[in-house]
Amino acid sequence: MVSEENIMGQNIDLTVNRLPALTWNSLGVNQTVIPDVLSEGFKRITAENEENLHKAGKTDSELWNSMDTIPTGMGEDVCGFIDKDTDAICISSENIGEEKIIFNCETSGDAYRDIKLFAGENETLTVWMGLKSSAKAEGKLTLRTKIKASKGANIRLVQVNLLGRDMELVNDIGAYCEDNANVSVLQLFLGGKNTWTGLKTTLKGDKSRLDVDTGYYCDNGQTLDMNYIADHYGKKTESRMNANGVLKDNTHKLYRGTIDFKLGASGSKGDEAEDVLILGDDVINQTVPLILCAEEDVEGNHGATIGRLDDDILFYMASRGINEEDASNLIARARIEALAGQIGDEELSRQVCEYIEEATGYGEEL
């Protein structure tokens, strides 16, 4: 169900996903331009079952407004665009511990929504966001999520992109942690045609922590443009960002992952790992894992493994009767299913498994 409130404006280009430290311009990864975004005609999308969502009231608007300054991964352009939204979905741990939000783009058209998640001191909040659409729907869905975890709080955000193949997704997230707070994010990018996503986390409080698991399966012309940033400000802060995915024929994926240790973040640790299985032809895989450091007493690691399956693994699989094509599909499926197992919501989990089984032709080869 889509509300009729429009945002007025004209065509604009959004410059998004800028690298915190630039590299050679010729590589084309310093930032991305989403061209010709029609801000006129964007409609605010309402979640399924929105009336029953436990939205926090407007009474504590100071709290929600304070989240306006939290920086996001995709940057100012998307924020400026969405800031015009006057009716964000605001979920607070004070009202509920878990909430599921489903956005269903039933008809074609561009849609947007602003979402804010808050957890009070030592409280826990888990939010699932499922994105789907009718099979032939066309248009751009733009979501901006701001997360604030107070002292000792835990916020978990799970996002599953199961949009139809003619939809595009612009998905921006900004998170902020106070002392001893934890934010964990699980994302599965499966559907949609083109996806742009960013996540910036400000680990302000001491001993705060970020965990991000991103899984993707791209085939048949899909593109995925990502920007993940962990800013370590507080002491003894920790971040772990993993991206794990599969690229089949005719796909383009750009992963930017930054661990930034600011001066004063002593005792902190940052870990970034990317594992890309390239199974198709005409693939463009770009990986830019940055570590920026102004503080001596830290530990930063990143690793990236890109390419095909190891010969040793292929032989091992073959020795059990599984040929190369089946082994590739098996492992691709296993990657996504492993993350699906962490979703924590049976329906979403099942939808992901169904999607990936069909995409990898499970059962067809028997």
Partner 1 sequence: MADKLLDVDGISVRVEDKEILHDINLKIGRGETHVLMGPNGAGKSTLGFALMGNPRYDVTDGKIMFEGKCINDDAPDKRAKDGIFLSFQSPIEVPGLSLSSFIRNALEKHRGNRIRLWDFKKELEQAMELLQMDKSYAERDLNVGFSGGEKKKAEILQMLMLKPKLAILDETDSGLDVDAVRTVSKGVEEYQKNQDGALLIITHSTRILEALKVDYTHVMVDGHIVKTGDATLIDEINEHGFEKYLDLIADESGAGR
Partner 2 sequence: MKEKTYVEDVDRSVYDIKDDEKNAYRINEGLDASIVEKISKEKNDPSWMELFRLQSLQIYNQLKVPNWGPSIDGLDMEHIATYVRPNTKMSAKWSDVPKDIKETFERLGIPQAERKSLAGVGAQYDSELVYHNVREEVSKMGVVYTDMESALKGEYADMVKKYFMKLVRPSEHKFAALHGAVWSGGSFVYVPPGVSVEIPLQSYFRLNAPGAGQFEHTLIIVDEGADLHFIEGCSAPKYNVANLHAGCVELYVKKNARLRYSTIENWSKNMYNLNTKRALVDEGGHMEWVSGSFGSHVSYLYPMTILKGNNSRMEFTGITFAGKGQNLDTGAKVVHVGENTSSFINTRSISKDGGISTFRSSVVVEKPAKEAKSAVSCQSLMLDSISRSDTVPAMDIRTKDADIGHEAKIGRISDEAVFYLMSRGLSEEDARAMIVSGFADNVSKELPLEYAVEMNNLIQLEMKGSIG
Nearer to partner 2, 136 or 308 (CB): 308
Q: Which is nearer to partner 1, 294 or 334 (CB)?
A: 334
* b/e per residue 203-236 (b: at least 16 CB within 10 A): bbbbbbbbbbbbbbbbbeebbbbbbbbbbbbbbb
C-alpha distance from residue 54 to each of 47, 51, 88 (Å): 12, 8, 13
| Enclosing H/E stretch for 65 | helix 61-66
Please report whether residue 38 would count as binding partner 2 according to CB under 8 A: no
For residue 64 the two structure tokens come to 């929600």
Stretch that binds partner 2, among 2-10, 183-191, 237-245, 286-294 (CB under 8 A): 286-294
Choose among partner 1, partner 2, none what residue 136 binds, the Cβ cut-off being 5 to 8 Å by kind.
Answer: none
**Between 23 and 65, CB nearer to partner 2:** 23
| Distance of closest approach, residue 346 Cβ to partner 1, in angstroms | 16
Residue 51 to residue 69: CA distance in whole angstroms: 28
Q: Taking CB within 5 to 8 Å according to partner kind, which of partner 1, partner 2, none is near residue 331? A: partner 1
Q: Name the binder of 35 from partner 1, partner 2, none, CB < 5-8 A by kind.
A: none
Residues between 45 and 84 with contacts to partner 2, criterion CB under 8 A: none
The Cα 200–Cα 205 span in angstroms is: 15
Neighbouring residues of 151: CB distance < 8 A, sequence distance ≥ 6: 121, 122, 178, 179, 180, 181, 205
Instruction: Tell me which of partner 1, partner 2, none is bound by residue 308, counting a contact when its beta carbon lies within the kind-specific cut-off of 5 to 8 angstroms.
Output: partner 2
Contact residues for partner 1, defined by CB under 8 A: 244, 310-313, 315-323, 326, 330-331, 334-335, 337-338, 363, 366
What, of partner 2, partner 1, none, does residue 135 touch, CB below 5 to 8 Å by kind?
none
- Using the contact rule CB under 8 A, the part of the chain among 40-48, 123-131, 147-155, 290-298 near partner 2 is 290-298
Sequence-distant (6+) residues with CB within 8 A of 131 are: 102, 103, 105, 141, 143, 159, 160, 161, 162, 163, 169, 191, 192
Which helix H or strand E contains 158, and what residues bound it? strand 154-162
Positions in the binding site for partner 2 (CB under 8 A): 21-25, 27, 29-30, 247, 263, 266, 278-308
